[in-house]
Structure formats: C-alpha cells, structure tokens
Structure 1
Amino acid sequence: MSGEPAAQIAGLAIASLLVIGSGIALSVYFGRKAKSAQDWLSAGESLPLLVVIVTQFATATGGGVLIAHVGIGYESGWSVFAYEGCVLVGFLILMLIARWLREQRFTTVPEIVTRLFGENKLVTAIAALAALVVPFGWLATQFVAFGQLFSRFTGASPTVLILVIMVASLFFVLPGGLTSVAWTDFVFGLFMIVMSLGVAGYAIHLAGGWGQVTATVPQRLWGWEGITAAGWDQIWLWVAAIVPGTLTNQLYYQRVFATKKVSDARRGLGLSGLTMLIGGIYAGCIGLAVHSMNPGLVNEEDAAGWLLTRLPGWLVVVFGAFLVSTIVSTTGSALQSVVANLTRDVYQTIAGREIGERRTVTLSRLITVAVSVLAAVLAIVFSKALTWLVASYAYSAAALAAPIFLGYALRRRRRLTPAAAIGGMLAGLTGCAVAQALDTAVPYAVYGIGASAVVLLAIALSSGKPPAAVHEGVKEEQA
C-alpha cells in the first residue's frame, strides 16, 4: 500500500473516532439533563425551536441522501428536489395536527391511536408493531451501510465496523435517551449542514465551475425543466411512496412531542421541512458535477463513490467525518424510537407493568442494549436480505395513516371505537399485502391506505355520533 492511501486511511480512522468520541461526550453531557423517564422517552418537552429543526434534519438525512439521492442528481438533475419536496409535503401535512399532538403530551405514535379510539391492548399491539418496524429497519440498514462503506475505505472487516457503530449508538442513547440523542443530533446536524453545502460547492469547483457544468451537461437536467427531468410517472411514484411514509414516521412525531413550547410544534415542522431542501442542493450539485466530469457511469449510484476518488486527501478525511456523523445521528434516533415503543407500549401498556421512574429508565437502557445487539446480528448475518425492510415504510403507512388522520378529523363527529382502529389497521395491512403480491404499478402503500380508510370510515359511520361528554384528551383544542 502506498504512503498516500495509508495516510488517508489513518486520517479517516482518526476523524471517525473523533466524531464518535465527541458524540459520546456530548451525549453524556446532555444526558445529565435527563432526570426522569419522561426525559428519557420524550426529552421532557424541553427542546428549543432551533434544536427541533436541526435534529429533524440530522435524523432524516441518512445513507439515502448520501448515495441514492446523488444518483438521482446524476441521472435526473434537479429532480432530486421533487424527491426532497415529498418529505416537505409530508411535514406540511403534519403541521395540521402538530399543535394538538404537542398539547396531548404523547410519547409514541400508538398513544395517539389509543387516545383517539380508546384503550385496547390489540390496538396498541398493532400500532406499536407498525410504528417500530420503520426505525428498526433504519437502524439495521444504517449498520449495514456503515460496515460496507467504511470497509471499502479502510479494508477493515464489515463485521468489526458494524460492532463499532453498534457500540457508538449505545453510547449515544444510554446516557439520556431522547434528551441526549436530540442535542447530539443538533450539534452533528449543524456540522452536516455546513459540510453538505461545502462539498457541493467543491464538487462544482472540481468540475470547472458552474459554466463548465452547464456547457457539458444537457440543459434538461440543470435548467428549470430539470425539476421534472425524472418524468412525471417517477415523480408521482415518489409522492405515493414518500409522503405516506413521512406522515407515519415516529421519529418525526417524537420531535413534535418534545418541543419546549406548544407554539413551536407547528413552526418546527415547517422549518424542518425546508431544511430538507439542503439535501437537494447537496445531491443535485454533486450529481451534476460528476455528470459533467464523467458522463459514462453505468450505475448512477456510483457517482458519490467516484467523487471520493477525485477529492484531495484532506477533504476525503473531512468528508469521511461527515459520513460518520450522518450515519450515527440516524442510528441513535432510530434506536431510541424503537426502545420508546417497547418500553411504553409493549411493557407498560400491553403487559400492564407499572414501575417507578428509576426502574423505567433502567429497563429502557436494558432494552436499548438488546435491540442494538439484535440489529447488529441481523446486519452481520442477513445483510443481503435487509432489502425487505424497505417494505416496512409501506406497511407502517398503510396501518397508521388513516387511524391517525381520519381519527383526528372524526374525533368530535363520530364515536370512535377500538373496533374501527383494528378494522382499519388490519385492512391497511391486507390491502398492502395483496397489492404487493399483484406487483401493482402504483406503490402498494396507496392501496393499503385506501383500504384502511374505507373500512375505518364504514365502521365509524355505523357507530353513531359521540356522547355529549367526550373522554378526556379528545376535546378539540381551544382557540
């Protein structure tokens, strides 16, 4: 191995350890703020508006933005903004119920469903499964991405690297749960924003400047028409797949639950959605720059990797630190979200085990270790089979979208019963499975959500109007 590659590997390893170490130090520091189970599970409703905005960005920006979205920019130019715009649309829709969500002081998504439809263990069980499968899928696939990505850079075994990121994720979550995760994500998120814009600018510079890019790349990619260069069929598929997934992703809800001020819940979502467009700038600029320098890539998703071979040694090290911070911020958030479901919904609600504050935190930490080990084992043993976890988005959205949003809309007009929630969720899962088996052109989540909405509406409309005295927590917020 020549001196320069060896020096780059050493620099990358040191930068990665510094990022992970600083993240652990931040987690321990901010974890001291967590004094109760509520602090551990929902950050004690203590997060300022700026922290909410940046931590949402850090949570949502994972391996997809780093690799797949750059591929979109390479192949379809500014169409990457159509993709990021779907996340923004999801956040704007969530704004409609954000204030109510924050006022009800929820901790997990299943609590929303049971508040609307009534306490029922089967309702909680189905909703908990639908809510936790997405963050668990994120956790396992981020472990795989870290192992595969840095194995290529360093030559280290993916198994060893997966164990490293597993331990790092534990140290990010264990000190204070969501309190430590959110504040650590905030610091990492600021670094990620700066790096995203910096690397995007350097990529354009490396290509010879924007004038050279426009001279060598077809105008249909870099002009205004580039926003739709992927084609309307593809864009509508993105809308059908991404918007529902955003609307039911518990990681985004948890930041709403944790806002310091009720008034920040709505603003936080709107401004967080706008920060997602930074990912579009990063992916679009790098994709177009690489297209200008090397228009013959067989696989567009190789664009980000190809750029790494063109960067100077010092920037490879800094970019590696950026990749590490991006992945660990997502793994920490996903891990804490799964643990919140298992602690609050499964252990306390379904199993009916009520324990004190200190024991709840201890139990949550034990569950954190168990979930991390399970995700690492899956990432090591079944890394090639983890693609099935992509389906978790569809099934989660199919089960939860109608109960949350139709339930919210109908809560003062119809008598909502556990049967309506159960029927709607099961219909959503069934519709999703049938559409997937038929290999429909439209994403099968759409069929699942449609089936869920129809069944839920039918049961709700047949249940009559609610009694005059609605149960606590379902009354509409006062203006």
Structure 2
Amino acid sequence: MLFAGFILMAILALIEVGGFSGLTTGMEAGATSFLGIDQIGALPALSLAAVIAIGVLATPSFRQRIYSGKSVKSVRRSFLITGVLYLGFSIIPAIIGMATHALNPGLENSNFAFPFLATEIMPLGLGLLLLVAGLSATMSSASSDAIAGVSTLIRDLYVLATGRTPSARNVVRFSRIALVATIGLALLFALASDNVITYITRMISTILSGLFVSAMLGRFWSRYNWQGAIATLILPQRPL
C-alpha cells in the first residue's frame, strides 16, 4: 500500500509540474549534477553518500535479521532482493522532493515535502490515507529498531553485567523497562535536532560509525577482540 501510494504520489506530482522537465524549474543547475557535486562540492557529496552507506551497513536490526535467517543462502538472496527494491524505490522520494521544490520553492522545511503533496496536491481522501500509511511504516521501522535495542540490553549488556540471562519471570518486566529506556533515549536524540539530514549525520558520525568499523573488523580480522570492539565504539565519541 505504501509503495503504491508513493508511486501514485510521484506520478501525480510529475503531472502537476509538467513532466520530468518541470522538476528542475527554479533549481540551480549544480543541484542536478551527479550527487550534487557541482552544488555542494565533492567532499560533502561523497561524505553524505558514505554516511548513508555506513548507516545501512551498521544498522543493528539488519544484523539481527541476518542472525535469524534460515540459511546463508536465504539471507543473501533476501538482502539481494531488498537491495534491488531499495535501488528502484529510491528514485520515488527524489521525484517527490524535486516536484515539491518546483511547486513550492518557498517551503521552509524540506521535511514537510511529503505532507505538502499529500494535503495540497493529492485528493483529500487519498492524501490522508497516504499520510496514515507513511506514519504506520515509520512506526513499523521504529518498532524494529526498538526491539533491536531491547534485545541488546537484555541479551548482551544484562548478561555481561550479571553473568546470566534474566529469569523467565523477569524477562517481560525487564524488556518493558529496556523498551522505555530505548524509546526515551531515541526521543531525546530526536528533540536535539530539527533537520532529518543533520540528525542522520550526527547519529552516524557518533554511534553507527563505531558499529560499522566493529562489524567489519569482526568479520574480516580474526585477531579482533572485545577490547578492540569497545575501543572502536568509544573513540568516535571523543571530540577532535
């Protein structure tokens, strides 16, 4: 439903701006270059691409799905299919964002591009349905990440601190406490930023970069140990 809605929104937005040629209306020429290099420079463009790649490779929920896979073959096949779908679907948000800029170049916050199209361009009923679908997809992704955080706290940190797993009668209670702590911490991080790109960049530079290096070294370097993993996670937090 969400994919179909995004595709429909992109089609209607294209019609509204007059086709692909209308997407660049009022847009600086450098913004349409590869990775926007002519607009923001080579280093910032490559840095943003690297940030997104590291964020995907280091996401804990993805790793948990790998561990829960039936076999290595099924995991590889599922991630290959997912990657192809992501690659194809990534075009849709770009069209939506560019169309919004063409239709409303004065939009102060680019994070409101989706709500703007849903409420101003699309039919009211369909727009509201897409807003609800988008919210449900966001909550679904958030719940997966929250579950990953709870699993880490209960199965890793708790065991590391106590030397044993929680008893059966305490698992639910501890999981609820861990869930509240995880969501509360995520909320504090979100409140500290008012821009999605800035938030992603900060989170990846301070947290996921260490997880990425730890995962890569743990996979390809046999001498990598737990002391090195802790150092890898702590060092990105230190100011330069």
Shorter-chain TM band:
0.7 to 0.9
TM-score of the aligned structures, taking structure 2 as reference length: 0.77
Q: Which residue of 1 aligns with 2:57?
A: 247
- Aligned twin of 2:130: 319
Tell me if the contact between 2:30 and 2:36 (Cα under 8 Å) persists in the aligned partners: yes
Contact 1:395-1:429 within 8 A present in 2 as well: yes
Q: Give 1:416 shift.
A: 4.2
Alignment partner of 1:294 is 2:104: yes
Residues 353, 283 of structure 1: alpha-carbon distance in 2 compared, 3 angstrom cutoff = same
Give the match for residue 51 of structure 1: none
Residue 80 of structure 2 is aligned to residue 273 of structure 1:
no
Aligned counterpart for 1:397 among listed residues 187, 197, 208: 208
Does residue 200 of structure 1 match 2:10?
yes
Query: Deviations 1:156-202 (Å, cap 9, x if unpaired)?
Result: xxxxxxxxxxxxxxxxxxxxxxxxxxxxxxxxxxx222222121112
* Matched residue, 1:256: 66
Alignment of 1:103-122 (within 5 A): none
Q: CA deviation at 1:319?
A: 1.6
1:443-462 equivalence runs, <5 A: none
- Does residue 235 (structure 1) correspond to residue 235 (structure 2)? The answer is no
1:215-226 alignment, distance < 5 Å:
216=25, 220=29, 226=33
Deviations 1:415-470 (A, max 9, x none): 4444443444444443xx21xxxxxxxxxxxxxxxxxxxxxxxxxxxxxxxxxxxx
- Output the amino acid matched with 1:397: L
Distance in 1 of aligned mates of 2:214 and 2:190: 33
Match of 2:153 in 1: 342
Question: 1: CA distance between counterparts of 2:220 and 2:212?
Answer: 12
CA distance in 1, matches of 2:193, 2:46: 26
Structure 2 vs 1, CA of residues 314 and 226 (structure 1 numbering), >3 Å: closer, same or farther?
farther
CA distance in 2, matches of 1:407, 1:372: 25
In structure 2, the residue corresponding to 1:237 is in which secondary structure? helix
The residue type paired with residue 334 of structure 1 is D
Q: Is contact 1:395-1:428 (8 Å) kept?
A: yes
CA distance in 2, matches of 1:198, 1:314: 14
Q: Residues 396, 326 of structure 1: CA spacing in aligned structure 2 closer, same or farther, 3 A cutoff?
A: same
Counterpart-to-counterpart distance in 1, 2:25 and 2:51: 33
**Deviation readout 1:350-381 (Å, 9 max, x if unpaired):** 2213345x4464245433553367359x56xx
Give distance in 2, aligned partners of 1:399 and 1:417.
Answer: 14
- Amino acid of the residue matched to residue 385 of structure 1? A
Query: Which amino acid in the other structure matches residue 247 of structure 1?
Result: L
Q: In structure 2, do the counterparts of structure 1 residues 423 and 365 end up closer, same or farther at CA, with 3 Å as the change threshold?
A: closer
1:213 to 22, 30, 38: 22
Q: How many pairs were matched up? A: 232
Q: CA RMSD in A?
A: 3.4
Amino acid at match of 1:206: E
The 1-side partners of 2:226 and 2:179 are apart by 33
Higher relative contact order (CA 8 A, sep 6+): 1
Counterpart Cα distance in 1 of 2:127 and 2:50: 36
Q: Are 2:7 and 2:92, in contact at CA under 8 Å, matched by a contact in 1?
A: yes
> C-alpha displacement at 1:405, in angstroms?
1.5
Are the aligned partners of 1:339 and 1:368 in contact in 2 as well (CA < 8 Å)?
Answer: yes
Cα pair 1:287 1:303 within 8 Å, conserved: yes
Cα deviation 1:198-247 (Å, max 9, x = unaligned): 21112212334x1662684669589xx64433533332121332222222
Alpha-carbon distance between aligned partners in 1 of 2:51 and 2:176, rounded to the nearest angstrom: 34
Aligned AA (2:126): L
- When Rg is computed on C-alpha atoms for both structures, the one with the higher figure is 1
Letter in 2 for 1:404: A
Q: Does the 8 Å contact 2:36/2:45 carry over to 1?
A: no
Mapped partners of 1:243, 1:211: distance in 2: 27
Pairing of 1:160-171 with structure 2 (within 5 A): none
Question: Identical aligned pairs, as a percentage?
Answer: 23
